[in-house]
Structure 1
Amino acid sequence: MERLLEIENLHVSFQTFEGEVKAVRGVSFHVNKGEAIAIVGESGCGKSVTAKSIMRLLPSPQAKIKQGSITLNGVNLVNKKEKEMTRIRGFEIGMIFQDPMTSLNPTAKIGEQISEGLLRHNKISKKKAIEHSIKMLEIVGISQPEKRINQYPHEFSGGMRQRVMIAIALACKPNLLIADEPTTALDVTIQAQILHLMKELQLKTNTSIILITHDLGVVAEMCSRVVVMYAGEIVETGSVSEIFANPSHPYTKGLLKSVPRLDMLKQEKLSSIKGTPPDLLEPPTGCSFFPRCEKAMKICGEYKPGFEKTGDSHHSACWLHHPMAKEESTC
């Protein structure tokens, strides 16, 4: 398949009063045209920082891309100036942010917020932009769009505000849609509606999607491939079927065990991963998951593991995959 986005060896740091926080460390992955992939991991693992790096929305001068490339349709976005990125945001890349209430402008009408991107990127009149905005509200399933277009965000429910965010992100028909926790704080019924809507729109428009989430149920519903992140690094990648049926990295196994299942017995308790992620002011020299891993070996704390192929498209960064490792070894 033809690749739309390719990230190679991305390093992102934040300068703080305490020192340099190495939030993203050597991340590499790609997205094919028309494909939906998921980036999963617990809070603070670098998912959102990676997404905002693609959009070049990191706070400046605190955050800095120290190394690596972000290539969209063969063009490296890292070297783009702000004026050039303004033309790319919304037009080639759309983004659905975590909280629509804080992402939408409370003082501007919904129609103005949807049409803003249309007016910026297309040579059309304000009347045409509003007409297209009404059409976008219809597409995302909001009733009475002619009326709703003149209302403010506080007049919408949480699910409706999220639909408006999707309408804004897709208004200019971008090639890539980044959805950062799009179902956070929504009830399960609205979550299902939003996911169904995104999947339907992807199939209709052939838009590529990067879904950032910690909800593995959402991943199974939406995506074909999964990228698992921990402490600013990728620890495992593979197809949804490979990751769910045969997880290779101990961290991925821990994530899957912490998800409730329909076949669980009433007396069974959900598993949890003991400990906390490492301090990224001083990242560990070896495997970042070493202090929390039940199958850790001495080498894990001293040297960083390389990626080993464990399936057709399945790769995992763990010393347990080394031919000389014994699965039962613990320390």
Structure 2
Amino acid sequence: MVENKENFENILEVKNLAVSFQTFFGEVEAVRDISFNLKKGSKLAIVGESGCGKSVTANSIVQLLPKPPVLYKAGEILFKGEDLLKYSNKQMMDIRGNKISMVFQDPMTSLNPTMKVGKQIVEGVRRHKKISAKEAEKLAIEMLELVAVPQPERRIQQYPHEFSGGMRQRVMIALAMASKPELLIADEPTTALDVTVQAQILDLMKKLNDELGTSIILITHDLGVVADMADEVIVMYAGQILEKGTVEEIFKDPKHPYTRKLLAAVPKINMEKSEVLHSIEGTPPDLYKPPKGCSFYDRCDQAMVICRDQLPELENHYGQHCSRCWLNHPDCPQGGAKVEG
């Protein structure tokens, strides 16, 4: 029995979550035994290549993945101490857009193109709060003003296609924040935006975090965004967590070869013209048949025999810093030794 939910330090706890997709060709193990916590009021970034399981993890939290083909094979998703995986669809409807909201990558496919944006915000608010249409409209104007949409009284009467890409994303954030959720999940919210608008959206999210105390999970592949935005970082690859820690721990002292390669692939302001931007050769493994050893084995230039044959544990180094790599084992030879075949 859960008591005193408000006293929980972690607003979200994901424990040993495993999510698969059932297909005609077999089972795809999209998320494989991941665990992490999110503290109240903190900002967590989940990074990794496309297909690594970031969005599946985010959508699992709010139960947006259809069953079937999705199969939750194991684990718990504890929101304020209660397992969301045990909630019915009706219970989840009370959570989505109310206590937990989500901002998607492409607002044009998330907003209803046939409905004025003001009405969309009003309907979202009135679904969860017992207020009049007039009060909801006033709140919609306030939320658009909060996310810096100019002339909100006029803009609530416009349709999504009358907004620019950056303004549509602001509307999505206003819609997500209208019920003042305790957790905001942003799934690559700035990918389709130019650099200036991207910076404005990130500043807006930080403002919401500071002023409203909203906890944030940011899904992204942009490490520059992570450095500017997050308190803690999770690095995912092939459905697993390979490394996690604070921003300072990850950026100053990365422990996993994959994390180091990701950081090396980020362009630097002071790069010389002669310098070559690093890339990660190869492709991620097929999750129809995940490797029994380290999932990064085929692309790692420091891999050893044990990496191919045995999965390393996610072990703690110091503070919150953990990584899943045999190179960090005390008995590992200096630098490892690449083994072919």
**TM bin (shorter chain):** over 0.9
**Inter-partner Cα distance in structure 1 for 2:157 and 2:71:** 39
**Inter-partner Cα distance in structure 2 for 1:237 and 1:24:** 16
Q: 1:101-155 deviations in whole A, cap 9, x for unaligned?
A: 1111100110111112210100011111111001100000001101100100000
Q: Quick one: which of 310, 313, 319 aligns to 2:320?
A: 313
Q: 1:70-96 deviations in whole A, cap 9, x for unaligned?
A: 000011000000000000001110100
Q: Quick one: which of 122, 131, 143 aligns to 1:124?
A: 131
Kindly provide the amino acid, as one letter, of the partner of residue 45 in structure 2.
A
Kindly provide the amino acid, as one letter, of the partner of residue 118 in structure 1.
V
Match of 1:14 in 2: 21
Match of 1:226 in 2: 233
- Contact 1:10/1:28 (CA < 8 Å) preserved in 2? yes
Q: Quick one: which of 73, 81, 106 aligns to 2:80?
A: 73
Match of 1:330 in 2: 338
Residue 304, structure 1, aligned to residue 296, structure 2: no
1:224-263 equivalence runs, <5 A: 224-263=231-270
**Inter-partner Cα distance in structure 2 for 1:116 and 1:242:** 43
Query: What TM-score do you get using the length of structure 2 for normalisation?
Result: 0.96
TM-align CA RMSD: 0.8
Match of 2:282 in 1: 275
**Inter-partner Cα distance in structure 2 for 1:235 and 1:221:** 21
Structure 1 residue 308: Cα displacement: 2.1
- Contact 1:242/1:311 (CA < 8 Å) preserved in 2? no
**Inter-partner Cα distance in structure 1 for 2:131 and 2:319:** 48
Residue 207, structure 1, aligned to residue 217, structure 2: no
**Inter-partner Cα distance in structure 2 for 1:117 and 1:165:** 11
**Inter-partner Cα distance in structure 1 for 2:334 and 2:263:** 19
Structure 1 residue 265: Cα displacement: 1.2
- Contact 1:295/1:327 (CA < 8 Å) preserved in 2? no
Structure 1 residue 262: Cα displacement: 1.3
**Inter-partner Cα distance in structure 2 for 1:203 and 1:63:** 36
Match of 1:37 in 2: 44
**Inter-partner Cα distance in structure 2 for 1:67 and 1:309:** 23
- Contact 2:141/2:152 (CA < 8 Å) preserved in 1? yes
1:106-255 equivalence runs, <5 A: 106-255=113-262
- Contact 1:15/1:62 (CA < 8 Å) preserved in 2? yes
**Inter-partner Cα distance in structure 2 for 1:310 and 1:127:** 55
Q: 1:160-198 deviations in whole A, cap 9, x for unaligned?
A: 000001001100000000000010110000000000010
Secondary structure class of the residue paired with 2:318: coil
- Contact 2:105/2:192 (CA < 8 Å) preserved in 1? no
- Contact 1:225/1:240 (CA < 8 Å) preserved in 2? yes
Secondary structure class of the residue paired with 1:220: helix
Match of 1:82 in 2: 89
Structure 1 residue 264: Cα displacement: 1.5
Residue 102, structure 1, aligned to residue 109, structure 2: yes
Structure 1: runs of 5 or more not aligned: none
- Contact 1:115/1:130 (CA < 8 Å) preserved in 2? yes
- Contact 1:11/1:25 (CA < 8 Å) preserved in 2? yes
Q: 1:212-264 deviations in whole A, cap 9, x for unaligned?
A: 00000000111110000000000000110111111000000010011001122
Structure 1 residue 266: Cα displacement: 1.1
In the TM superposition, structure 1's runs of 4+ consecutive aligned residues that sit over 4 Å from their partners are: none
Match of 2:4 in 1: none
Structure 1 residue 327: Cα displacement: 3.0
